[in-house]
Each structure stands twice: as structure tokens, then as C-alpha cells.
A and B are shown apart, each in its own frame.
Chain A
């Protein structure tokens, strides 16, 4: 929530940046001159470049302190400020069933020392106008040169005397659990989880997925232990960049980090994950999705400093890099308009790297898009690239390299890489030379080595009913594998829908399970009281029904009414924090009217309704018939009925969200208990309506109570 709002603000106030669609393809035509006089024909000559200037990268120094801390210093006196960055050397560790531990521990470390509370640390840093943060693999602080003493005192205190307060641990847990809930319905997070799981396997640290279970397994003691085990000077770089001399930097490092005691650090080693041997379609269902997220991905070995790395990078930029020039962008967006953007990337990592080509595409072109992805990948291995395309990519990469050097932090990063990966000291100085030397044959060789359309994981998150079957043709063994949101493989119920099962049967069974038509029709009035908690606020939800079609709803608590709906069958009124509105037609009326049915399913046999049993799927471990209900007005809702109990377990429908985009809202019903012979779900969980899931508990139901008509009058 918070992050979203910050983003929102950034775009609302600070700088309304715009990314217009590219101009349509229109033919050039001769144009008349504007009023100004065209001076000379020499103007039609594009100026040629002057001689390229030497890039002076500047110097860096690497020293080691007696306690084993590796010091990297980049002097740059352009601005009177300095930054201190502490980063651990070890590769990522396995967190096992405590995925998330490292980030918890790093965050917690900065939230209080034996002498300073979190609020005091904030105040001290604000006073200096400084910035400071801690994370699982280190910490970072920067300030004006003249304030560095105070900054270093705090950094040193945090490093040496962290307190790990329990209440801050609880806050971190709470915030992260909320984050997981928020990401549950985000298709990109889902695709990221599945990609990580299938590329690396769950035993590799990169394949470990954070879930609420793993978060709940993390303890304060584990956080302390992680920091104690890994935050050792002999396991760290201290990188000092800015307005400081080498001598001063060394003196500060000794003064503030010299007393930090060295010690043994657990060794970390991992096996190299292997990619699939044939194309493997990995599907994650998102009911109602209007777009599919596609990722063609697999692990590769592309360690920093390997001899192919520049060639590989050029090759990838031709495929899926550049502003607009990449082939994937040209093909899938400019030519076919399947997507707003399609890109590819080859990472470079000491443990294991990945190839990833991705796009979000319209649901109906999911398979066509995969065809184009695979075509472009294959074409790159087969056809030599144009000399012109190659030159454009080289120029663009060279320019980007030069611009990156404007920040002294870039040089510091280079220095760290040279030390860490044992590269030659002139490794980056000779980068442009190596870039320039890349040939057409090099690109093709790199493609043959790294581009594997026939050995790729094809990860797709989308609407299973609309998409999955069409993807069979891409899968090597002809069996699509299904995964949940967190990358766990699901054994899909292969059960075939029995021949005697259709929509009407499923819905009738449901009505019978509720007690039968006669019983439900004997209900003339109904009263339901629920409670929920929304961002720490308790709310009551009170609903009253009276046949034929009166309805009353109130959501709120003692302090306020969030929303109230009154409907007497003719006039609907709605009021709440958004003002009030009433009418005998229009959206408010329609909404109230549809709410006024006690049981929607009683109407499903009416003309205009279509019921379609799509498949058998699990909802929270229970096998269900998945029924697509199309209403007379064309609205669709997907309902899941338990095969065992016949009860309704879940519904999914699309609504227009803020901003006009389609939002899929799912509601899960559980804890059915009978009230006067009718089973009512006592727990209702809604996902997608708000950034956070909303859980409601049924506190009380009254069947056939006396309700005055006046309640329903606006």
C-alpha cells in the first residue's frame, strides 16, 4: 500500500512523465517549408563524429585492514560528499523453510542499537540531511563530507551493537506478510516465483520462494544468528566513494570499523542447476486474466568476466534490447501489436545466470506470441545478423557505458568486481575495445551457445480455460505442468467430468445441500451480521433481506458508516464516504437490485442464463466443479462447487477497477455451519477488491425475523 502510494505521488505531483505510443507508420510525403527561409543545402548533411575521446576511468585503491575488511576507495572531489557502502562477500545462502530470513535480519539490524532507538536513528540521520539503510547483504550511508564523522558513528554503532528489538521484528513480520498477500494476485510476481522454481529447483537459494509459511518460520533468534555468522570484516567490502583522500579513508575505516572482530564464516556452495532437456510449458492459472505473462527462461552459465560475456551481451541486445530496435520489440509490438513491450535479458551471476525473454500479451494471442518468441530466438542462431544492426547495438552499448561512468559509484562497482571475480585490472578499461571487436560470427556463436528455444521453460501465467490447451504444442512431452502462485507443482485433478454432470445438476445439488427449494423459498426475511478487519479497523457488515426484493446493507463501526444501501424494490439509495446517490434506475439501482437476491442460484434456471462446467479444480484442497455462469446481461461469474459437499466454495468475477482496468475479484467461502437446517459459510475471504485480502466472519444469522419496511426506504 505504502509503496504504491509513493509511486502514485511521484507520478501525480513530481513529474508527469508520459510514454506515448509510438507514431503510426505513415508514409513520408513531400512537405512545404514553413515560413522561415531554408538557408543552405549544406544543412542536409548529417555531421560526422569527431575522433572518439579517450575514456579516463580514474583510479581506485584496494587495501586490506588487519581484521580482514577489504577496503575499496574511489576518490572523486567533484562534490563535497562521501558514501560508505558495506557489502558481504559470501554468495547467497540457503534459507530453507525460512525463505526471507536474510532480508528480515538485514532490515532488523538497522532498527535500534544498545544506545539508540529507531526514532533516534531517524532523527540523527535527518539532522545531517544524510541517507542510511541496512539490508541482508550490508548497509549504505552517505552524507556531506563534513558530516561523515557523525554518520560513521551511527553506522559503526549499528554494525557493532545491534539490539534486534522484538517489537521491530513484529513490525517487519507484519509488513512482509501484508506484502505477500498483495503480491498473490499479481501475475508478474507469480511468473517470477514459477520461473525461479523451475529454473533453479527448490534446493538452490535462487529457487527458494518467500511465502507466509516461510515468514512465520523465521524467528528473532535466527535473525540475530544470521547477522552474527555473516557480518564479519573478513567477509566484507567497505567501499568509500567521494570527496576523501586515500589516507583519510583508511583512517576512517580503521577508526570506525577497525574494532570489528574477524571470525570464521560458514562456507557456502551450491550445485549448478541444469536447464530442461526439452521445451517445458509451466502454467499458472489466473482466472479471468485478460493478459498472459510469458517468460521463456532457463539457467545459463555466464559468470562475470567470462570470455564470451561481451559477445553474449551484444547478441542479447540485438534480440531484445535497445530503445525500440530489439527484434522482439519490432516483431511483437511494432509489427503485430501483441504487446506494449517485449524484451530479453541474459544475466551475469557467479552462481548461476538466466536467459529470460518476456512480455505481457493479450490472452487471445498467447500462443501466437510464443511462436514469435521462439521464431526470433531460433532465427538468431540460424541467420548471421546485419552489419548495420550490429553496429547500432555496439554504438548504443558503448554510449551507455560511457554515460554510466559519470557516476563514481560505477567505478567503485568495477573495482569490487575486479577484486571479487579476480578479473584483470584493466578489465573495464578494455571493455570498449572488446565491444568494438565483436563480429557477426561472434554473435552467431554466442546465440548458438546461449539461445535454446528447444531447451526452455515456457512459463505462462494466464487464464487456464482460455489459454492452456493451445500451449500443448510447445511442450516436449505433451504434458503441461501446473504450478500454484508460489511455484509449487500441482497435481491437477485429471479427473474427467462425468457425463451426467452439467451446470444445472451442479447448481441443483447446491440448492439441495442448502435444504432444497421449498426450504429456501420459505425464507421471507433474512438478517446476517458479519465482522471484518480492514487495515487494523474493525468493521461490522449488517445485511437485511425481505422478499420480494428489499435489501439493506450497512458497513461501518461505532465511529463511522463507510457505506449504507437501502432498496425497497423500486428506489435504491446508497451513501457513504463517497457522498450519496439514489435512483430508480442506473448503476446504483442495478447494484442494489442484484444484491437483493438472497440466493442468486435460485434464478439460474431462468431464461437467459447459461451454465457451463469447465473442469474439476481444487479450492483449498477440495475438489470442485468449476462452473462458468453467463447472465442474461452478458456478465460472467465463475463458481466452484465442492464435489463432496455440493456447497459453493469460491466465486471469481471481473469488475472494473480504479483506472478502468479489469480487476479480477475472487471470494472464498468456508467454515460452513448449519443455522436452522441451512448451511451458511462462516468465513468469507475476498481477494482483489482491495489491495489487501478481506476476511469476514459470520457472527449471527436470523431466519424469518420481523423487519419493518421502513428500514429499506431511502
Chain B
């Protein structure tokens, strides 16, 4: 494994801050070229996370050129004017650090965690990537093959690996969330060097990025180095393309069967819910927690433990910028008809729509939210990413300290309302994943 490249389907970047007692202090400012900078000093361990988040994901792609955003996550490790091919990881390993990157529908993220005396190295590596990465045929050819291998490994050959893709293509007819982050291999093959250069020039510009640094840093030194390495990078010339597509409401359920190389049937129920950060999204998140977190949750207790109809049942919100998705799934027990499991899931969802949850259960939800919120950012790498996310999506990095209030403001009635409004059987996608023909038992 060279780098753990990732396509990240941000589950929601919410659980990422610390209780009010433990405020995370940070400094933020813009460079003249539009690069937004966030600095958090935490000297408890002599390490530093250096990260750049670009506001480009698969939704910024053209429908006939999908997969570009993720492809760049690979391509931009190929080298720059001053960093030879394959040297990104050597620099970092020699410095005693690690590195990683991932891509979602909405953004692309690169980071290094280094000993804190190597901050300048991290800034150099990232500024090189932003200023003059090598976008040329040698690297493009290599990474095309790597990405194809990745697609085979992670999607085509992965049991249930197409769930997200099959869900999104049905849930979104107009909006670019329609296509998968990894994109079309045909599009990548058809694209020429200039298409890639254009994408780089359009999106990999300082005014479309957040430089977020957390760890053992001297704020003044950091500011000086940032000016040195990033200050001279020219601002992007055009306006960054951001789709503004309204997806019409669904009017009838979409139901389909997918045959896959799997052994146990699975059921997917997916609903469109509001974009992350909205009050209703927080309510939907609490709703998912009610249904599926822990041994005492509704789905788990009833369908897995008591009725023993499924091996596993869950529900989670897929937080995205324009529209989010609430996705419930179940793996049926052997010999149980999927429709039986689906009925049991519907029954639990209907209960939430018709009966207000008890005070006890409501308090449990709040406690679980609080615990996750407090525990999540124990590491500087997580803090750097959260700060970047909060700024990029909501223009408010301080949500790292305050977002828990948004969860605690959700009422029992809000949860019921969200269930009624968004978990509407006429506005959902239901997929049955069934094993392909298998002659012998």
C-alpha cells in the first residue's frame, strides 16, 4: 500500500469538536491570493498536521468528464517542478511523518503529519502541489491504470461494493450527485492532457482552498513560512464552477433488484434529506442514531436480537453539501425473505412517525451525541480536518466548539417531524441485493 488514497463519502463531518470546557483556539486569515489559512496551536505533542482542502469534488465535474476530482488525488502525488516522481512519500518518511489523501462528492483533502520541526517541509510539499504539479502524460497514464485497479478492487470485486453508486444514480436524476466519485473509466480514458491541465488550473487555485494546520507550532513562524511558500502562488483567473442544480422532488418509490456476487441478500432504503448543517439534517442524524446505534437501538433490538431476521441492520446519514442522503440497510439472515426484513424495518420507522420517543430514549440519544462529539477530536490530524471542513462548508470554523448545541437543540417532536417528512415511502429508493445464480448449495 503506497498511500491510502481514499474516496471519502463524508458521513458528516459533524462529530469533530470538543466540549465547551475545552475550547479549541485558532487563528484564521486570508492571503491576498484568496487562500484561507487556519492555525491551531497545541504543543502537547511535538507533531504537526499540515493539510490543504480543495473545494472540488465529483459534483464539480462535467457529466461527460466524471472521475476527474478523484483522479487528481492520485495524480498530485506524481511530483512537481521541484519534487521528482515518487518522492512525495520518501520526503515524508525520511522526515519521520505519514501522509494521506481522500476525495468526496464535495471536496478533496491532502495532509501530512510530521514532527513539528518539519513544518516548513510540509508547507513546501503542499505549496508545490498547489503551484506547479506535474500534470503530464507520463503520470496520467500510470495513474489511469492505478485508478482502474482501484475500481476493480473496491467497487467491482467488492461484495455490495456498488450500493452507493446504484443508490445515488436513482436518487438523483439531475444533480451531479448522480455519478460516483470514482467516476467513469471511459471518461478518464477519453480525456487528453489538456483536459487535465484545464481541471488543475480551474480548481487547484489558492482561492478555492483552505490551508489548515494543527499541532505544536509557533504561530508567527508559521505565518512567515506560509507567506513565503503560498503568498506568491497566483490567484485563479476564472470563477470556480459550482453547480446550482435543483433536484425535483420524487413522486413515486423507485424499486429495483441488483444481482451481485454475494452470499446474503441485502436491502437498501434510501431517502433524500436536507444538506448538512441545516436544522433538519441534525434531526435526521438523531433519528438514525435512534434507529441503529448500540445494542439497545430500535433496529438492533427488534430485528436482530428479538426477531432474529437480520444479521445486521443500520441507518446512517450521508452528509453532503447540497442534499444529504439517509441510508438504511439490512443483511438478511439465511433463509429469511428480504421482504420480511423490509417490513420489519418499515414497522420501526412507522413507530417513530406515530409515537413520540420516551424521555429516557431521548436522553440516551443526547448522551450518545455528546460522547461522540467530545471524543472525536483527540488528535491534531482530526482537528485540522474539522477546522477546514467547518470553514469550507459553513464559513464558521468555530463550529468545532459549538456544533453540539445544534444537536442538543433538536426536540423529540423534531425527530418525529423529520421521520414523517423525509422517510416518505413515496420518495425513496429501495434496492434488493440478491446473490447471483449459484447452482449448488
Contact = CB atoms under 8 A, between A and B. Distances in A.
Contacts of B327: 13
Interface string B135-156: 1101000110111011001110
Contact of A689 (B11, B197, B257, B441): B441
A434 B98 CA distance: 22
30 contacts: A9-B312, A13-B164, A13-B318, A15-B6, A17-B154, A20-B147, A26-B85, A31-B138, A47-B123, A49-B115, A50-B120, A52-B46, A55-B45, A78-B22, A79-B375, A79-B378, A123-B295, A126-B293, A126-B296, A126-B364, A127-B360, A129-B370, A144-B370, A399-B98, A406-B44, A536-B333, A559-B335, A562-B441, A658-B262, A661-B157
B207 to A, nearest CB: 14
Nearest to B316: A13
Contacts of A559: 335, 337
Interface of B: 1-9, 11, 18-19, 21-22, 44-47, 74, 78, 81-82, 84-86, 89, 91, 93-98, 102, 113-121, 123-124, 128, 131-136, 138, 142-143, 145-147, 149-150, 153-155, 157-161, 163-164, 181-182, 197, 200-201, 216, 232-234, 257, 259-265, 293-297, 305, 311-312, 314, 316, 318, 327, 329, 331, 333-335, 337-338, 360, 363-364, 367-372, 374-375, 378-380, 434-441
Contacts of B149: 20-21
Interface residues of A, number: 116
A352 interface: no
A150 B438 CA distance: 51
A694 B263 CA distance: 14
Contacts of A126: 293-297, 364, 368
Interface stretch (A91-99, A173-181, A320-328, A362-370): A320-328
Contacts of B160: 8, 12
Interface in A370-411: 391-392, 395-400, 402-403, 405-407
B19 to A, nearest CB: 5
A579 interface: yes
Given A55-B46, A79-B22, A577-B434, A563 B379 contact: no
A359 interface: no
Given A81-B374, A560-B335, A18 B5 contact: yes
A123 B358 CA distance: 14
A6 interface: yes
A703 interface: no
A79 B178 CA distance: 40
Contacts of A1: 311
Which of A48, A125, A560, A578 has the most B CB atoms < 10 Å from its CB?
Answer: A578
Contacts of B146: 20-21, 23
Nearest to B440: A689
A180 to B, nearest CB: 19
A324 B182 CA distance: 25
A307 interface: no
Contact of A144 (B95, B318, B371): B371
B95 A18 contact: no
A661 B164 CA distance: 23
A11 B158 contact: yes
Contacts of A535: 333-335
A710 interface: no
A402 B379 CA distance: 13
A514 interface: no
A33 interface: yes
B311 to A, nearest CB: 6
Contact of A323 (B93, B114, B138, B259): B93
A127 B367 contact: yes
A392 B335 contact: no
B2 A19 contact: yes
A537 B259 CA distance: 23
A32 B136 contact: yes
A122 interface: yes
Contacts of B155: 16
Nearest to B196: A34
Given A79-B375, A579-B257, A587-B437, A36 B132 contact: yes
B115 A52 contact: yes
B368 A129 contact: yes
Given A18-B6, A81-B374, A43 B312 contact: no
Interface string A539-555: 10100000000000001
Contacts of A694: 441
Contact of B334 (A125, A144, A391, A534): A534
Nearest to B131: A36
Contacts of B143: 23
A433 interface: no
B239 to A, nearest CB: 17
A576 to B, nearest CB: 8
A12 B160 CA distance: 7
Interface string A562-576: 110100000000101
Given A12-B158, A79-B18, A537-B335, A402 B436 contact: no
**A-B pairs with the 4 shortest C-beta distances?**
A399-B96, A129-B371, A537-B335, A658-B261
B22 A36 contact: no
B356 to A, nearest CB: 18
Contacts of A536: 333-335
A620 interface: no
Interface string A119-133: 100110111111000
Given A19-B1, A79-B375, A323-B89, A588 B117 contact: no
A402 B312 contact: no
Contacts of B233: 36
A1 B331 CA distance: 11
B93 A322 contact: yes
Nearest to A397: B96
B46 A539 contact: no
B439 A565 contact: yes
B121 A577 contact: no
A7 to B, nearest CB: 11
Nearest to A24: B142
Which of A5, A37, A405 has the most B CB atoms < 10 Å from its CB?
Answer: A5
Contacts of B142: 23-24, 26
Contacts of B435: 577-578
A129 B289 CA distance: 11
Nearest to A122: B295
A577 B265 contact: yes
A46 interface: yes
Contacts of B201: 34-36
A19 B146 CA distance: 9
A402 B295 contact: no
Given A19-B1, A26-B142, A34-B201, A128 B371 contact: yes
A2 B314 CA distance: 13
A514 B102 CA distance: 62
Given A322-B93, A325-B93, A536-B335, 8 more contacts: A21-B149, A39-B232, A40-B232, A43-B82, A80-B374, A392-B94, A577-B337, A661-B157
Contacts of A351: none
A143 B371 contact: yes
B351 to A, nearest CB: 18
B216 A53 contact: yes
B163 A34 contact: no
B45 A402 contact: yes
A399 B9 contact: no
Given A24-B142, A36-B201, A694-B441, A53 B94 contact: no
A26 B85 CA distance: 9
A52 B370 contact: no
Contacts of B312: 2, 5-6, 9
A170 interface: no
B360 to A, nearest CB: 8
A690 interface: yes
A43 B439 contact: no
A35 B150 contact: no
A76 to B, nearest CB: 8
A43 B197 contact: no
